[in-house]
Chain A
Amino acid sequence: MGKVGKIARRSFLIGSAAVLGGVAFGVYRVKTPYGNPLEDGLSEGAATFNPWVVIDGDKITLIGPHGDKGQGVAHSQSLLIAEEMDLELGQFETSFGKPDKAYWNTAMAEEGVPFMATDTGMVAESMRGVMGGVMKLIGLQGTGGSTSMPDSFDKLRRAGAIARETLKAAAAEETGINTTALRTEAGHVILPDGRRLSYQSLAKAAAGIDPVTKVTLRRPDQWRLIGKPTQRLDIVAKSTGTQIYGIDVEIPGAVKAAVRTNPRQGGGLNGFDATQARRMRGVKDVVEVTGGIAVIADNTWRAIKAAEAVECDWGKAPYPSEQDGHWAAIEASFTEDKLDKIWRNEGDADAALRSGAEVEAEYRVPYVAHAPLEPLNATVLVEEDGVTVWTGHQFPRLLQQLVGAITGHDAEQVNFINHYMGGSFGHRLEFEHVKQAAEIASKMRGTPVKLTYSREEDFAHDFPRHPGMARARGAVRDGKVEALDLQVAMPSVITSQMGRAGLPVPGPDSQIAAGAWNNPYGLPHFRMRAYRVEELAPVSSWRSVGASAGGFFFDCALDELIHAAGADPMEERIRLMQHEVSRKVLEAVAEMSDWGSPLGAGKGRGVAFVESFGVPTAEVIEVSATDAGIRIDKVWVAAEVGTVIDPVNFENLVQGGVVFGLGHAINCEITYADGMAEQRNYDSFEGMRLYQCPEIEVRGLENGDAVRGIGEPPVPPAAPALANAIFAATGQRIRELPLYHHINFV
């Protein structure tokens, strides 16, 4: 039975925001044993059908618990619910909701399991089930790993269908007409005589009846919204400067804070002198925070300037102070005792390579920063009986726990109000800035504290993508690729990242091997060994994580082998491909790019294929070698996602992923000197600028069974496809990123 709103009103959280209210049906308990967080603080006559739908007064609110970093997931989550609920865009509001166990991310657990995404065998499936169970126990709500659509696709459509059928049942009870004679359309239940009852008018009745648990999801040919071009719900706000991000939050009475912590990350603070800073206009206080200092002022610029004026005596970096030392540690890790796992071992690579190798090569990828355009920030108010946090974050429930541990509250007393994020690329999986804001706010209870990082602080304290090296030996035979022995060495990003969050993850790190092992090719002899380098500079997940490095290693090595064999790069990849759906991806990109058609002098084409996050993705890049340098003329992308949910956003995300992959491959690295990142702003870490951006043609394929996310998969093939194209155009084989060290670009 549903619960009436007023009963639960007493359980209002401090400062609780946005969406609360409703009546619970409990329908979803079978699938969601955590209950419905929307039951808290219901208003009278309101109805909530499950953790994703609330009708309160004249307002329908759809909860999309995944954070929106720009990938448009607030829109696409609501599309899934609205599709089944028969709502039109404009008839509802959206909210990120409150952190809750009910929003656990099953798909994220699956991606952590070390089976190839193309392997749907029994072992892989049962292992995924176990991991999903673990995730459920800790109630981990998270956004990442391109999992939002895989996690949401069935769940949210079902949530919408339950709401629809329950509203129909309520209308049947009100009118005495059998539900089979009722239909729904545009936010209304339609009676046989054409009368229309709005969902809002039925909410109170719906709250009082048994829930409808048996629902049938619509067939794809019945979809009105899914797969159709729609206007993103946030597009007007984001075109008019009216979208509110975390950095725009203004709580009355808030002070502005800036931090400086040791740029030798983790090195600690030996001492500081804030005499000058304290005299500066608007400065209220200078306090110590973990690893550094914070200035509290009346204006963000004044706080940042004063923080820069504090003289700090920093401790030493707990990792090699110079970049050469990082590379030396990686180079020294191709040893038995550092072997993390042998991920593939087919045929007999040693025997095949005994008489020599046609290809012997070494590849490198550097540290790279996330550097989303909205600098890290957090506003925190600490009070006696609770804490409120305003920012954009990808791990709401971990955030609650970590903040509560600092302020002395239970996690449940931490009210987190998630915000649209000005990009992340993995940056907002981290907690340091939120913890610092909580530390400061803890020292001044009752006063909201808004912490904003300067761009320089943001770069200095990014935890960049892990660097890595690969060594490849390979053989060809009779014009075909015969053998590849690939070794990859990297620090473990999972150890570094999860360690900071207090979550040790045992076992081999799949992200050392990602992109390098999980290719569905059938080489006669293929061995892929992963080596774990000691922890160097602290690192974090960077859009596409390990695959951004592993894809470059594997695909470039394969390309070298194909050229050594004298074969065609596209034909040989297709010949070697064992996975039918992936073969179609290669065939699609070949057709789109008119692969094999004649090119003018000085032009070259490269292809790369990488499967990441369950999405087989192939890219062809065409370049021209001009007197001034390489010009990227055009990119074609084919990606298999099962179902394209939002075609406009899909194209935008794929194009953006290619730009992200290419921009960093060409231009970007983080290097350490004196223990500090040398690149501190966009002048020395540019990514891609508009003038370098090629035309990018995109095709989403829907041959697979599973729905997959497209946020990350377009990134990994970009760098190898470009390196392979440069080789085709110039004969120069570049095995190290960023490419600008070796060749000019126009």
Chain B
Amino acid sequence: MELIVDGQRHEVDVEEDMPLLWVLRDELGIKGVKYGCGVAACGACTVHINGEAVRSCQTWVSDVDGPVTTIQGLGQPGALHAVQEAWVELQVAQCGYCQSGQVMQAAALLEQTPMPSDAEIDQAMSGNLCRCGTYPRIRAAVKLAAQKAQGA
């Protein structure tokens, strides 16, 4: 199977039903994508496929029908995406383990809804669990990222 991940083409020889998450982590070594629950209940594994936020733990690799963007393709230290800039500026993370998924979910939200309302933020972000409880900062960072993207 062929996959395009963060702009790179990869050939993988795996089962059709292997979740994209484990192809990314164990076959391609992309560790920024996190395993949290395996049942699409926590959002830590969120990536973009064709620009849409999806839970890679519940996506068969054979169902991937477009380029995949992971947190590591969204931006890097030194070349941050607007959402990552906001995450850094407001110091959202505690343990940080969920934040890859939070950032990817927020980036997809802002792509579709550049200035989301509180209700739209609640709606889009509530599938991403943060056990440390950084939600007040996540809310504020989504709004800050929206402003940054508008200004850019």
Chain A residues proximal to chain B, CB less than 8 Å: 69-72, 231-232, 234-245, 247-248, 250, 256, 281, 299-301, 304, 371-375, 420-423, 425, 452, 454-456, 648-649, 652-653, 655-660, 663, 681-683, 686-691, 693, 695-696
The verdict on B146 contacting chain A, using a C-beta distance below 8 Å, is no
Answer whether A235 and B93 are a contact pair too, CB < 8 Å, given A657-B133, A687-B129, A687-B131.
Answer: yes
Partner of B132, one of A423, A683, A691: A423
**24 CB-based A-B contacts, threshold 8 Å:** A70-B94, A234-B93, A238-B99, A239-B80, A239-B88, A241-B70, A299-B26, A299-B27, A304-B38, A373-B36, A373-B42, A373-B44, A373-B130, A454-B38, A455-B37, A456-B38, A655-B133, A655-B136, A655-B137, A681-B37, A682-B129, A683-B39, A686-B41, A690-B130
Number of A-B contacts (CB under 8 A): 188
Determine the chain A residues whose CB is within 8 A of the CB of B84 once the complex forms.
Answer: 239-240
B12 vs chain A, min Cβ distance (A): 11
B107 vs chain A, min Cβ distance (A): 12
Which one of A239, A256, A372, A658 has the greatest number of beta carbons of chain B within 10 Å? Answer: A239
Answer whether A237 and B128 are a contact pair too, CB < 8 Å, given A421-B95, A423-B95.
Answer: no
B residues 71-126 near A (Cβ < 8 Å) are 71-72, 75-77, 80, 84, 87-88, 91-100, 103, 121-123, 125-126
Answer whether A301 and B22 are a contact pair too, CB < 8 Å, given A239-B80, A375-B35, A659-B135.
Answer: yes
Partner of B94, one of A653, A681, A690: A653
Sample of 8 more A-B contacts, CB < 8 Å, known A69-B95, A687-B129: A71-B94, A373-B131, A423-B97, A655-B136, A681-B41, A682-B39, A682-B41, A690-B138
Determine the chain B residues whose CB is within 8 A of the CB of A231 once the complex forms.
Answer: 88, 91
Determine the chain A residues whose CB is within 8 A of the CB of B34 once the complex forms.
Answer: 241, 247, 373-374, 422
Answer whether A70 and B33 are a contact pair too, CB < 8 Å, given A373-B97, A374-B97.
Answer: no
Whether the Cβ atoms of B25 and A300 lie closer than 8 Å is yes
Determine the chain A residues whose CB is within 8 A of the CB of B35 once the complex forms.
Answer: 247, 300, 375, 452
Whether the Cβ atoms of B137 and A422 lie closer than 8 Å is no
Whether the Cβ atoms of A374 and B95 lie closer than 8 Å is yes
Determine the chain B residues whose CB is within 8 A of the CB of A422 once the complex forms.
Answer: 34, 95-97
Whether the Cβ atoms of B93 and A239 lie closer than 8 Å is yes
Nearest residue in B to A424 (C-beta to C-beta)? B95
Determine the chain B residues whose CB is within 8 A of the CB of A250 once the complex forms.
Answer: 29, 31
Complex formed: what's the CA distance from A696 to B76 in Å? 31
Contact count band on B:
35 or more
B17 vs chain A, min Cβ distance (A): 9
Whether the Cβ atoms of B99 and A239 lie closer than 8 Å is yes
Complex formed: what's the CA distance from A690 to B129 in Å? 8
B69 vs chain A, min Cβ distance (A): 11
A518 vs chain B, min Cβ distance (A): 25
B residues 30-67 near A (Cβ < 8 Å) are 31-39, 41-42, 44
Whether the Cβ atoms of B22 and A235 lie closer than 8 Å is no
Answer whether A656 and B94 are a contact pair too, CB < 8 Å, given A300-B25, A373-B36, A690-B135.
Answer: yes
The verdict on B2 contacting chain A, using a C-beta distance below 8 Å, is no
Nearest residue in A to B99 (C-beta to C-beta)? A238
Nearest residue in B to A654 (C-beta to C-beta)? B133
B118 vs chain A, min Cβ distance (A): 10
Answer whether A693 and B72 are a contact pair too, CB < 8 Å, given A238-B96, A300-B25, A681-B37.
Answer: no
Whether the Cβ atoms of B133 and A372 lie closer than 8 Å is no
Determine the chain B residues whose CB is within 8 A of the CB of A682 once the complex forms.
Answer: 36-37, 39, 41-42, 129
Nearest residue in B to A298 (C-beta to C-beta)? B26
Partner of B126, one of A69, A301, A374, A689: A689
Whether the Cβ atoms of A425 and B93 lie closer than 8 Å is no
Determine the chain B residues whose CB is within 8 A of the CB of A456 once the complex forms.
Answer: 38
Which one of B26, B80, B96 has the greatest number of beta carbons of chain A within 10 Å? Answer: B96
Whether the Cβ atoms of B41 and A683 lie closer than 8 Å is yes
Whether the Cβ atoms of B72 and A686 lie closer than 8 Å is no
Whether the Cβ atoms of A240 and B72 lie closer than 8 Å is yes
The verdict on B18 contacting chain A, using a C-beta distance below 8 Å, is yes
Instruction: Give 3 closest A-B pairs by Cβ, nearest first.
Output: A241-B32, A70-B95, A659-B133
Whether the Cβ atoms of B31 and A244 lie closer than 8 Å is yes
Whether the Cβ atoms of B96 and A375 lie closer than 8 Å is no
Complex formed: what's the CA distance from A237 to B77 in Å? 7
Determine the chain A residues whose CB is within 8 A of the CB of B130 once the complex forms.
Answer: 373, 659, 690
Whether the Cβ atoms of A241 and B71 lie closer than 8 Å is yes
Answer whether A658 and B133 are a contact pair too, CB < 8 Å, given A239-B80, A300-B22.
Answer: yes
Whether the Cβ atoms of B18 and A232 lie closer than 8 Å is no
Complex formed: what's the CA distance from A372 to B19 in Å? 22
Whether the Cβ atoms of A455 and B133 lie closer than 8 Å is no
Determine the chain A residues whose CB is within 8 A of the CB of B76 once the complex forms.
Answer: 240, 242
Complex formed: what's the CA distance from A103 to B110 in Å? 46
Partner of A248, one of B31, B70, B122: B31
Determine the chain B residues whose CB is within 8 A of the CB of A375 once the complex forms.
Answer: 35-36
B108 vs chain A, min Cβ distance (A): 15
A76 vs chain B, min Cβ distance (A): 12
Nearest residue in A to B98 (C-beta to C-beta)? A373
